[in-house]
Amino acid sequence: NPGKKHYHPIKDAFWKKGEKTPYLAIAKTFEIIEENSSRLRMIEILSNYFRSVIVLSPNDLLPSVYLCLNQVAPAFEGLELGVAETNIMKAIAQTTGRSLQQIKSDSQQIGDLGVVAERSRSNQRMMFTPTPHTVESMFNKLKSIAKMSGATSMQKKVDTIKGIFVACRHSEARYFVRSLLGKLRIGLAEQSLLQALSQAVTLTPPLENKKEPYNVNVMSDKNEATIKLKVEKNALILKTVFCRCPDYDQIVGILIDEGIKALLEKCKMKPGVPLKPMLAQPTKGVHEVLERFDSIEFTSEWKYDGERAQIHMDENGVISIYSRNQENNTSKYPDIISRISLTTKDSVKSFILDCEAVAWDQERKQILPFQVLSTRKRKDANEAEIKVQVCVYMFDLLYFNGESLVENPFSKRRDLLYEHFNEVEGAWKFATKLDTSDMNELHLFLDEAVKGNCEGLMVKTLDKEATYEIAKRSRNWLKLKKDYLSGVGDSLDLVVLGGYRGKGKRTGMYGGFLLGCYDQENDEYQSICKIGTGFSDEDLKAHSNFFKDNIIKEPRSYYRFDSSLTPDDWFDVVQVWEVKCADLSLSPIHKAANGIVDPEKGISLRFPRFIRIRDDKKVEDSTSAKQVADMYQNQDQIKNQQTHRDAEE
Ligand code: ATP
């Protein structure tokens, strides 16, 4: 019964086996997900929807996954929807007979064009009933809209949107319009989707459902603890595979045809598909490094301040470059691509290199700060027009001539890197390294790195515990930044939750913002500080312009904050800022890491200062509540208090 208020994605599934999944089924599922704030509940609802699809129309699992994520292709292909709001408004106006003015004013009042579209629909009378949308047809149409380009594409998009809109039923218009805008607003993180998917394929395995009689509750006779264990095991497989091969086309295909176990064997790393990078843990000084790596051999490298570049070449010589965030940066770096043959020796057939692209002053032959690199064009750069040159610092080799190397120790990967790749002045360099555990030598090396315009050092294990840990902030890579030495601590990457209107010179824009960290455990954003320092006037203008398009009427159910902090405007979580602070302290108001360090208090930042926007991080990649708690506890004065207490006891 699609009209039912509390739709249950299994009990109320309203299409027959072999039929295509109606788009309305996923829209109804989104409705109940939107009404539920608990992460576990969201996962269960989505998992139930996937289970119905597996049984009734398994080929719709892939488009369903993409619709949930609001993607039309694997993320690394960079094909995005994001249709301009005014064009959608035009299409709504033209199909409903309402004026553009009415639609605009409703949208301002309600703060959600999706809801405006849904409500506008019900005013309409139809001569005959159009064919209802299916999950597959909607996905294909959205994909075709994303692909439209060229001079007449705007009109073509509006016409296609009108065609789709006419056939929308119930809440379909809401989610269709939100998809077009690029924001589904149901609060579903990708990790939750992966969890739901593994839960679904565990409880209702696609392979077993190929035979008759099919059964939604294949595992219902097993005991609950066994089921839970199996779900967790499968979730781990799925998440692991997703890190090295974030490609649902491959993953879902294998899940349906061969089952979850086949994923590990079949979904392998390959050039052209970016993998999530290994990350480092902060340390506060050479002494901490030496303590951690007491009996383990390690090396130290300069930590370059540029942009991570994962450079891929497949066996056909096709080159692609991905960011830290698996975004496709290939068209940003035509200069790197045209110089590939300078670094590869004849033995090289295919590879994945882990590198840092750094702005380079060709005359002075020196590294330039990150700010210079950030002025480069982000997409479709024309090599002849490039003003900021880059030098690529290669620090790891993850795949070579058809084989993944990630299971090999770093010393082996580094040997292969040195053996098969060349250095070229100002274009290709190996990260400057020093293999020593001598404290004085390390101090000197750190000083040199800082003098050489680097952020500090990356310290890495060489043989023992030295595999490449995809997607992990690993203890086998330690970062030692110059900032830590002055006691300021590591910077944090925080999401912007809301804005406070400015006064005086800042009238007409935001003068301050509410920031939060991400608590993975509960899938929520927790307030950590208000910030009003570190911005230039241009920064503030740019932020105000950017966030005014991301205002939401109410805070999301997954924002944790004290009402005394309520900003003038709430924002959708869409941007990550790098922020530094004097120190971290316990706070009765802020909610960051609440319950981890103190049962009642959270943690807040003292004297936070804006450093830069981190476009290369997704909101879920922002500093986690656990990291905030670790940073708090790692502060000297907190450690000293602890030692003092231990001594007293
Ligand atoms: P931040 O850049 O703020 O330190 P992050 O979260 O992006 O943080 P970290 O794990 O903290 O990443 O630091 C690793 C980053 O440093 C890498 O993503 C890479 O871009 C950069 N980097 C520079 N030089 C090196 C190197 N020699 N080895 C590894 N990473 C390096």
Q: What secondary structure does DSSP assign to 462-488, as a single string?
A: SSTT-S--TT-EEEEEEEEEHHHHTT-
Q: Phi first, then psi: what are they for 254, rounded to 5°?
A: -70, -40
User: Does residue 340 come out as left (phi exceeding 0), alpha (psi in the -120 to 50 range) or beta?
Assistant: alpha
- The CB of 280 under 6 Å from ligand 1? The reply is yes
Report which DSSP code applies to 432.
P
Q: Is the Cβ–Cβ distance between 605 and 501 less than 8 Å? A: no
Q: Report how far ligand 1's centroid is from the alpha carbon of 569 (Å).
A: 33
Nearest to 9 by CA among 27, 30, 29: 29
3-state secondary structure of 602: strand
Nearest to 373 by CA among 648, 74, 45, 612: 612
Residue 232 exposed, middle or buried by CB count within 10 Å (0-12, 13-18, 19+): middle
Q: Report how far ligand 1's centroid is from the alpha carbon of 455 (Å).
A: 9
Q: To which H or E segment does residue 451 belong?
A: helix 439-451
C-alpha 253/C-alpha 274 separation (Å) is: 19
Per the DSSP assignment, residues forming a β-bridge with 301 are 433, 458
* Pocket-testing residue among 299, 304, 490, ligand 1, by greatest number of atoms within 8 A of Cβ: 304
């989505």: which residue's tokens? Answer: 46
What residue owns the CA closest to ligand 1's atom 1? 491
What residue owns the CA closest to ligand 1's atom 3? 491
Q: Which atom of ligand 1 is nearest to the CA of 621?
A: 6
What residue owns the CA closest to ligand 1's atom 15? 279
Q: Report how far ligand 1's centroid is from the alpha carbon of 453 (Å).
A: 15
Integer CA distances (angstroms), 401 to 244, 330, 352, 533, in order = 17, 21, 9, 49
**Which amino acid is present at 195?**
Q
Q: Which atom of ligand 1 is nearest to the CA of 473?
A: 10
pLDDT at residue 3 in the model: 58
- The two most distant CA atoms of the chain are separated, in Å, by 84
C-alpha 296/C-alpha 54 separation (Å) is: 48
Q: Name every residue whose Cβ is closer than 8 Å to that of residue 478 and which is 6 or more positions away in sequence.
A: 280, 281, 282, 283, 288, 289, 292, 293, 458, 459, 460
- The CB of 303 under 6 Å from ligand 1? The reply is yes
* Pocket-testing residue among 276, 278, 279, 301, ligand 1, by greatest number of atoms within 8 A of Cβ: 279
- The CB of 141 under 6 Å from ligand 1? The reply is no
- The CB of 322 under 6 Å from ligand 1? The reply is no
Indicate the pairing of strand 456-461 with strand 307-313.
unpaired
- The CB of 410 under 6 Å from ligand 1? The reply is no
Indicate the pairing of strand 307-313 with strand 351-361.
antiparallel
- The CB of 301 under 6 Å from ligand 1? The reply is yes
What residue owns the CA closest to ligand 1's atom 6? 279
Q: Report how far ligand 1's centroid is from the alpha carbon of 283 (Å).
A: 13
If one counts every other C-beta atom within 10 angstroms of the C-beta of residue 23, the result is 28
- The CB of 458 under 6 Å from ligand 1? The reply is yes
**Which amino acid is present at 170?**
H
3-state secondary structure 274-330: CCCCCEEEECCCHHHHHHHCCCCCEEEEEECCCEEEEEEECCCCCEEEECCCCCECH
**Ranges assigned E (strand) in 502-591:** 510-519, 524-531, 551-552, 559-560, 569-571, 576-580, 583-587
- The CB of 308 under 6 Å from ligand 1? The reply is yes
Report which DSSP code applies to 212.
S
- The CB of 479 under 6 Å from ligand 1? The reply is yes
Per the annotation, the verdict on 16 as an active-site residue is no
Nearest to 454 by CA among 391, 362, 363, 377: 391
What residue owns the CA closest to ligand 1's atom 12? 279
- The CB of 460 under 6 Å from ligand 1? The reply is no
What residue owns the CA closest to ligand 1's atom 25? 303
What residue owns the CA closest to ligand 1's atom 2? 305
Q: Where are the alpha helices (DSSP H) in 57-171?
A: 61-69, 85-96, 100-110, 113-121, 135-147, 153-166
Integer CA distances (angstroms), 114 to 29, 106, 167, in order = 16, 11, 15
- The CB of 454 under 6 Å from ligand 1? The reply is no
* Pocket-testing residue among 310, 356, 358, 483, ligand 1, by greatest number of atoms within 8 A of Cβ: 356
pLDDT at residue 212 in the model: 63
- The CB of 618 under 6 Å from ligand 1? The reply is no
């293999």: which residue's tokens? Answer: 435
Q: Which atom of ligand 1 is nearest to the CA of 491?
A: 3
Q: Per-10-residue mean pLDDT for the chain, 649 residues long?
A: 72 90 96 85 94 94 97 89 89 90 90 90 66 96 93 89 92 95 85 94 84 60 80 94 92 94 92 94 87 93 96 97 93 96 98 98 91 88 92 98 96 98 97 93 91 93 96 93 64 96 90 95 91 90 92 88 96 93 91 93 92 91 94 78 59
Report which DSSP code applies to 562.
-
Q: Is the Cβ–Cβ distance between 340 and 382 less than 8 Å? A: no
Q: Which atom of ligand 1 is nearest to the CA of 277?
A: 18
- The CB of 304 under 6 Å from ligand 1? The reply is yes
Q: Which atom of ligand 1 is nearest to the CA of 279?
A: 10
pTM: 0.79
Q: Report how far ligand 1's centroid is from the alpha carbon of 129 (Å).
A: 56
Q: Name every residue whose Cβ is closer than 8 Å to that of residue 33 and which is 6 or more positions away in sequence.
A: 42, 45, 46, 186, 187, 188
What residue owns the CA closest to ligand 1's atom 4? 479
pLDDT at residue 310 in the model: 98
* Pocket-testing residue among 324, 395, 458, 623, ligand 1, by greatest number of atoms within 8 A of Cβ: 458
- The CB of 255 under 6 Å from ligand 1? The reply is no
Q: Is the Cβ–Cβ distance between 571 and 551 less than 8 Å? A: yes
For the chain, the 3-state helix, strand and coil shares in percent, each to the nearest 5, are 40, 20, 40
Q: Report how far ligand 1's centroid is from the alpha carbon of 59 (Å).
A: 40
Radius of gyration of the CA atoms of the chain, in A: 26
Per the DSSP assignment, residues forming a β-bridge with 268 are none
Helical packing angle, 190-203 and 61-69, nearest 10°: 160
Nearest to 589 by CA among 536, 514, 523, 639: 514
Q: Name every residue whose Cβ is closer than 8 Å to that of residue 24 and which is 6 or more positions away in sequence.
A: 2, 132, 133, 169, 170, 172
Q: Which of 284, 303, 460, 601 is catalytic?
A: 303
Q: Report how far ligand 1's centroid is from the alpha carbon of 303 (Å).
A: 7
Q: Name every residue whose Cβ is closer than 8 Å to that of residue 468 and which is 6 or more positions away in sequence.
A: 278, 354, 396, 398, 405, 406, 410, 413
Q: Which atom of ligand 1 is nearest to the CA of 302?
A: 27
pLDDT at residue 401 in the model: 98
Report which DSSP code applies to 22.
B
**Which amino acid is present at 87?**
N
């670790």: which residue's tokens? Answer: 630
